[in-house]
Amino acid sequence: MSPRLSDYYKQREPSSIRKAQILFSSRLDLSEIDVINLAIGNISLPMHPAMITKAKNLLGNSSPFKNGVVRYSSSEGTIGCIEAIIKSISAELSIDISKTVNCVITDGGSQAMELMLLGICDPLSDDSILFIDPLYTNYNEFAKRLSISSSSYYRSIDDGGNFSEIDILELRKHVKKENPNGILIIPSDNPTGQQISKKSIIEISKLCVENDIWLISDEAYRNIYYTKFGPTSIWDISDEDAPGIMGRRISIESVSKVWNACGLRIGALVTDNEIMYKKVRSEYTANLCANVIGQYIFSAVAKLSSTEIIMWYESQRKYYSKIIDDLINGLEEMVPGLIISKPQAAIYIVLDFKNIVPKSFIISDFIEFCACYGKCDIDNKMYTLLLAPMTGFYSQSKAGNKQARIALVESEYKMKLVPKLLSKLLNDFNLTELS
């Protein structure tokens, strides 16, 4: 006998970005397989040197933890960490937003997402938020967790690997029909790799003003872009660009990606609306505060000059640009006919298998095969590959059932193995399905 579980827990399955890893961990031959995990954006690069120095000196004389005492910070976060978040936004945009925004430091960007959803929509009501599909899977997961409704504007991928642009006229129709409380955009988009242009952000800003709704922007990858346009952000939109936009903007921030600090679990909710800020802070008092050691380490960024920050961003873009080029070239050679997205931003590639697999192919079956049974000998070592099914990134249940997202997060050596490994595993899976 067991006490009753909630209906929500009864139907709960692991996140799309974690399920393959959980399945792999149950393999009987686990110790014999080297896994290349591209299902989750768990970056393997080192943090900024200034952050590493702070981490090495956690018990040093200048550290607040020198006596082994680790106390709560204020609920909104430490001054140093808040300054670091604001400076990381302002540096490459060449604007000072410190006088116009307020910031609450959170346990990762994920916590900021939940706070945002609770701040703009009442659970179990007619309130809703407008998502642009496909989108980072945790937004769908958190909306379900909080019983908050959503609607979706849908983007599709063509055979050239390009996702359709946001049509403002169609988006306007959708807003009129669904009457959402806010629109969520991801300017350097996870998972599509699109970079939403400043022009589009201005048009979306105007749409939000016209309809008196919130503009929310997930800017975790703001400074990882590969176009000539520079970073795009809601904080680069002035009241002259979109009259009335002041006071209705919220950004979701994270140090996990651009700063290579996933495990610090430091994020932030930034807003230019004073009331929203005060209520987010009030809500977060129930959490007491975000990780204070993580806050301390990231606060090193507040001491960097804008030039040093921009140089760091440039180094990250240079690294990922090479990874993307090598990977796309390798996939085109090893898996002919595979549709491969061409990222303009962020650190993900979407693969669409629809032109090279039978109609019965379901991406989750292939990913489960790779995690539970798949293996390939490369240079006398056995490997398998973990991917994330794109079905978890769409609000529509059947969308993306032949697509996968891969995160460019493993070492350069392992990333070079991916094309050959994917080709072999796909061939093995097809043979298994035919037998």
- In the predicted model, is pLDDT for residue 10 greater than 90? no
Number of domains in the chain: 2
For Cα atoms 86, 282, 217, give the angle at the middle one, nearest 5 degrees. 40
Average pLDDT over the chain, rounded to whole? Answer: 95
Domain that holds residue 197: 49-305
Any idea of the CA torsion for 344, 342, 217, 390, to the nearest 10 degrees?
-160
Question: Does one domain contain both 257 and 315?
Answer: no
DSSP classification of residue 264 = G
pLDDT digits (tens, 9 = 90+) for 114-139: 999 999 999 999 999 999 999 999 99
What pTM was computed for the model?
0.94
Q: Is the CB of residue 346 less than 8 Å from the CB of residue 189?
A: yes
Lowest mean pLDDT among 1-15, 336-350, 363-377: 1-15
Q: Is the CB of residue 279 less than 8 Å from the CB of residue 110?
A: no
Domain boundary among 268, 284, 305: 305
Q: What is the CATH number of the domain that holds 183?
A: 3.40.640.10
- In the predicted model, is pLDDT for residue 426 greater than 90? yes
pLDDT of residue 433: 66
pLDDT digits (tens, 9 = 90+) for 93-104: 989 998 999 999
Assess if residue 2 is contained within a domain: no
Could you tell me what percent of the chain has a pLDDT over 70?
Answer: 99
Question: Does one domain contain both 99 and 186?
Answer: yes
DSSP 50-85: HHHHHHHTTTSTTSTTTTS------TT--HHHHHHH
Q: What is the CATH number of the domain that holds 412?
A: 3.90.1150.10
Secondary structure string (H, E, C) spanning 356-408? CCCCCCCHHHHHHHHHHCCCEEECCEEEEEECEEHHHHCCCCCCCCCEEEEEC
For Cα atoms 333, 337, 340, give the angle at the middle one, nearest 5 degrees. 80
How many distinct helices (H) and strands (E) make up the chain?
Answer: 13, 14
pLDDT digits (tens, 9 = 90+) for 70-97: 999 999 999 999 999 999 999 999 899 9
pLDDT digits (tens, 9 = 90+) for 258-303: 999 999 999 999 999 999 999 999 999 999 999 999 999 999 999 9
Task: Give the integer Cα–Cα distance in Å for 338 and 351.
Answer: 7
pLDDT digits (tens, 9 = 90+) for 180-198: 999 999 999 999 999 999 9
Question: Does one domain contain both 226 and 244?
Answer: yes
Question: Does one domain contain both 80 and 34?
Answer: no
pLDDT of residue 435: 58
